[in-house]
Amino acid sequence: MAKLKLALYWAAACGGCDVAVLDINEKILDVAAIADILLWPVALDFKYHHVRAMPDKHIDVCLFNGAIRNSEQEELALLLRAKSKVMVAFGSCACFGGIPALANFSNRQGIFERVYFEAQSVENPEKTLPQPHIKVKEGELELPEFHDTVRTLAQVVPVEYFLPGCPPTVKLILTAVDAIAKNALPPPGAVIASNKTLCDECERVKEDKTITKVYRTHEIIPDPKKCLLEQGLLCMGPATRGGCGAQCVKANVPCRGCFGPPPGVLDQGAKYLSALASIYDVKDEVGIARMLEEIVDPAGTFYRFSLADSMLKRKRL
């Protein structure tokens, strides 16, 4: 039986998703037994020209992690889409924008100025900026165009499957690999995680969902047995898809929403905001003002991993 042709690529990523694949430990040998990996920059030495030389739809499955924020990443997304039968948006960045999508609070100019001029550890008196084309003595050099906005993979190319998580858990990766190996993938468009919210798999005791104060995570040490939201911490569980095994919550820290919105929810941040305001039990102006003071960074907290996937996609400048 012919081996599966697999490709793994990273765009605006951190490498964590690639490491997560390696976290399946010795099972990577099982993967190597059933698949030929044709591209995996972190681990193998294939180049872009190898991919360009492939016939269309040559790759069976491409696991694409990282968000799209420059022209090279966009080009690779389009290239791999053309060369692959199945594209999987692997990890929160490819699915929702992830942490890099927090850059959508700014744009190219704002980011360049901070990174290359203003940052405290930068010495750049000549105000040099990266250029897409530059002539040097020997010839020409190119760099990708830096886009104003971070996009998810699905905003650039059609995607068959979504595997959320920052990074996806080993269990979910194995579920996906298993389904690919057995040719038993669900219908296209599926998210390979749970169809319920995180609260469903969280084992903490949930009682009366009303709060009168929101605490920042350094202000209290939470009771490990009680619901974190009920203790006044901004746990994103109610507005986050489950399937991760509630790892953060088990470590006594509130969920930050890396699995993205639950099924049917169009905007994770708005939904969470609605839920939070529902349970915060104040009725007067003073109480409401206090609530607003306690929630210091609503957009950054509620859209921590999903700003690119939100309704407004970015800050309007």
Which residues in the 253-312 window bind another protein by CB under 8 A?
A: 253, 256, 260-267, 269-271, 273-274, 276-278, 280, 282-283, 288, 291-292, 295-302, 304, 309-312
- Residue among 85, 189, 212, 247 that touches another protein (CB under 8 A): 189
| Residue 290 C-beta: closest distance to another protein, Å | 11
The verdict on 24 binding another protein (CB under 8 A) reads no
Stretch in the footprint of another protein (CB under 8 A) among 18-26, 27-35, 56-64, 225-233: 18-26
Contact (CB, 8 A) for 67 and 11: yes
| Residue 58 C-beta: closest distance to another protein, Å | 19
Residues 36-55 that bind another protein (CB under 8 A): 41-49
- Residue among 4, 14, 82, 170 that touches another protein (CB under 8 A): 14
**How far apart, in whole angstroms, are the C-alpha atoms of residue 128 and residue 194?**
47
Contact (CB, 8 A) for 235 and 249: yes
**How far apart, in whole angstroms, are the C-alpha atoms of residue 272 and residue 76?**
34
| Residue 35 C-beta: closest distance to another protein, Å | 18
**How far apart, in whole angstroms, are the C-alpha atoms of residue 101 and residue 301?**
13
Q: How many residues does the chain have?
A: 317
Output helix, strand, coil percentages for the chain, rounded to the nearest 5: 35, 15, 50
**How far apart, in whole angstroms, are the C-alpha atoms of residue 283 and residue 269?**
23
Closest CA to 38 of 23, 26, 55: 55
**How far apart, in whole angstroms, are the C-alpha atoms of residue 247 and residue 254?**
10
Fill in the per-residue mask, 126 to 165: x = in contact with another protein (CB under 8 A), - = not in contact.
Answer: ----x-----xxxx-x-xxxxxxx-xxxxxxxxxx-x-x-
| Residue 122 C-beta: closest distance to another protein, Å | 9
The verdict on 75 binding another protein (CB under 8 A) reads no
Q: What contacts 65, CB < 8 A, 6 or more positions away?
A: 8, 9, 10, 11, 13, 17, 18, 90, 91, 93, 94
**How far apart, in whole angstroms, are the C-alpha atoms of residue 317 and residue 109?**
11
The verdict on 17 binding another protein (CB under 8 A) reads yes
The verdict on 103 binding another protein (CB under 8 A) reads yes
The verdict on 181 binding another protein (CB under 8 A) reads no
| Residue 268 C-beta: closest distance to another protein, Å | 8
Stretch in the footprint of another protein (CB under 8 A) among 26-34, 54-62, 184-192, 225-233: 184-192
Residues in contact with another protein, counted by CB under 8 A, come to a total of: 136
- Of 232 and 243, which CB lies nearer to another protein in the complex structure? 243
| Residue 70 C-beta: closest distance to another protein, Å | 7
> Between 170-181 and 27-34, two packed helices, what is the crossing angle to 10 degrees?
20
- Of 2 and 38, which CB lies nearer to another protein in the complex structure? 38
Two tokens, residue 104: 């959508």
